[in-house]
């Protein structure tokens, strides 16, 4: 909005010319999202407590979690609000990628909100069934994928890290592939959100890394130099992704151990959807597997655990997702969390390194 209001005035007020630059607006969006979250966090938590929106804890989980009963949840509403406000304030609103990303984030966030509301407010422990969640996530992802396929101005190719000349033209199969990436990432972040700040950390590193990738993909000179696909207009996504990372950083102030608030499915599903759709838009789906490696390992641990138990009656891990396995091995919760953050930072650096290793 600021871009549309102030840039046109740059001929009479020269300083407003700065609004032309994505880098400047990304910086502004980063500050806005983080400061908003920090300023509103305490008030939002107080409101959740007044509404008695507190987390119930399942008996089955690690006993250390019993003390978390009643912790305010649905903190994701604050995260999504800060991301959306900051993006609308600083991005070029004529850019359809920005609206696709916001649509997927808010759409998957609404699914999570219904699940949280049924569980926490209506005290219906089931919430939305896994099947219902999957159906609605697929509907949101399919709408975005079909729109992106129809609006595409670049071929629907799948790029591979390290192999700069290798590209697979997906054709119409871009649509189911995009749905798989978006829904898969949404659920992987959701599964990861099981310890204080555990999902927020990798979301911050992944969102900020993808902000760099989006800016690079949208800049012809940089894309040409790095030999990555040029995606005209993808640069504006850097504003959305930087807002995502910054809002999560602000939320982490309250979600850090011992957490004063959980993000809820409204946050976890939405943040995963946001990362998934951003990877599809910037044609970096495989880089998301590397950068979001913690999410991948968490999801894989569940799949392997369930498959092993069904096939052999034995568990591979003490408990899945894998963060519970380390908890049951005796690692204190903060140690599990910070070690997963360290791995995420290393994976983010490795992701950026692949841009040159090709």
| Contact footprint for ligand 57M (CB under 6 A) | 55, 57-58, 60-61, 65, 68, 73, 190-191, 193-196, 255, 259, 262-265, 268, 302, 305-306, 315, 319-321, 324
In the bound complex, what is the minimum distance in angstroms from residue 80's beta carbon to ligand 57M? 13
Query: In the chain, what is the straight-line distance between the N-terminal and C-terminal CA atoms, in Å?
Result: 38
**Is the CB of 62 or the CB of 176 nearer to ligand 57M?**
62
Whichever of 49 and 358 has its CB closer to ligand 57M, that residue is 49
- Minimum distance of ligand 57M from residue 265's CB (angstroms): 4
Please give the Cα distance from 297 to 352 (Å, whole number). Answer: 20
Angle (CA) 293 259 252, round 5°:
55
**Shortest distance, CB of residue 33 to ligand 57M, whole angstroms?**
19
Question: Any idea what the Cα angle at residue 184 is, between residues 182 and 189, rounded to 5°?
Answer: 100
Q: Which is nearer to ligand 57M, 73 or 351 (CB)?
A: 73
Nearest to 233 by CA among 223, 221, 220, 218: 218
25/68 with CB nearer ligand 57M: 68
Considering beta carbons, is residue 161 or 276 the nearer one to ligand 57M? 276
Distances (CA, A) of 203 to 188, 319, 346: 11, 23, 14
**Shortest spacing between CB 119 and ligand 57M, in angstroms:** 8
Q: Are 90 and 3 in contact (CB under 8 A)?
A: yes
Q: Which residue is nearest to ligand 57M (CB)?
A: 61
Name the minimum Å distance from CB 307 to ligand 57M.
10
Per the CB < 8 A criterion, the answer to whether 235 and 221 are in contact is: no
Q: Where are the beta strands (DSSP E) in 89-226?
A: 157-160, 163-169
Q: How far is the CB of 82 from ligand 57M (least distance, A)?
A: 17
Nearer to ligand 57M, 23 or 125 (CB): 125
């Amino acid at each position: 909005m600021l871009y549309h209001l102030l840039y046109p005035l740059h001929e009479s007020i020269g300083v407003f010319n700065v609004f032309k630059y994505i880098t400047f607006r990304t910086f502004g969006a980063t500050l806005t999202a983080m400061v908003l979250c920090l300023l509103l966090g305490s008030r939002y938590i107080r409101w959740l407590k007044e509404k008695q929106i507190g987390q119930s804890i399942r008996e089955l989980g690690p006993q250390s979690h019993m003390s978390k009963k009643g912790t305010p949840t649905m903190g994701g509403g604050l995260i999504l609000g800060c991301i959306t406000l900051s993006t609308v304030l600083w991005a070029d609103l004529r850019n359809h990628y920005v609206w696709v990303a916001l649509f997927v984030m808010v759409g998957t966030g609404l699914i999570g909100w219904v699940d949280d509301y049924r569980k926490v407010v209506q005290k219906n422990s089931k919430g939305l069934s896994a099947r219902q969640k999957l159906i609605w996530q697929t509907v949101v992802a399919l709408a975005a994928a079909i729109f992106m396929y129809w609006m595409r101005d670049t071929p629907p190719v799948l790029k591979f890290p390290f192999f700069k000349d290798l590209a697979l033209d997906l054709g119409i199969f871009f649509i189911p592939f995009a749905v798989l990436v978006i829904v898969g990432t949404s659920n992987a972040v959701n599964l990861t959100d099981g310890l204080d700040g555990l999902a927020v950390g990798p979301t911050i590193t992944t969102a900020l890394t993808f902000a760099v990738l989006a800016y690079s993909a949208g800049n012809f000179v940089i894309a040409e130099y790095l030999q990555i696909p040029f995606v005209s207009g993808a640069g504006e996504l850097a504003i959305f992704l930087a807002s995502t990372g910054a809002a999560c950083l602000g939320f982490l102030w309250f979600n850090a151990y011992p957490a004063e608030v959980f993000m809820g499915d409204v946050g976890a599903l939405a943040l995963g959807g946001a990362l998934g759709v951003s990877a599809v838009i910037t044609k970096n789906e495989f880089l998301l597997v590397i950068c979001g490696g913690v999410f991948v390992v968490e999801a894989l641990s569940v799949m392997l655990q369930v498959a092993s138990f069904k096939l052999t009656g034995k568990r591979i891990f003490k408990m899945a997702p894998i963060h519970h396995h380390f908890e049951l091995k005796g690692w204190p919760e903060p140690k599990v969390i910070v070690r997963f953050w360290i791995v995420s930072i290393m994976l983010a650096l490795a992701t950026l390194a692949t841009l040159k290793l090709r």
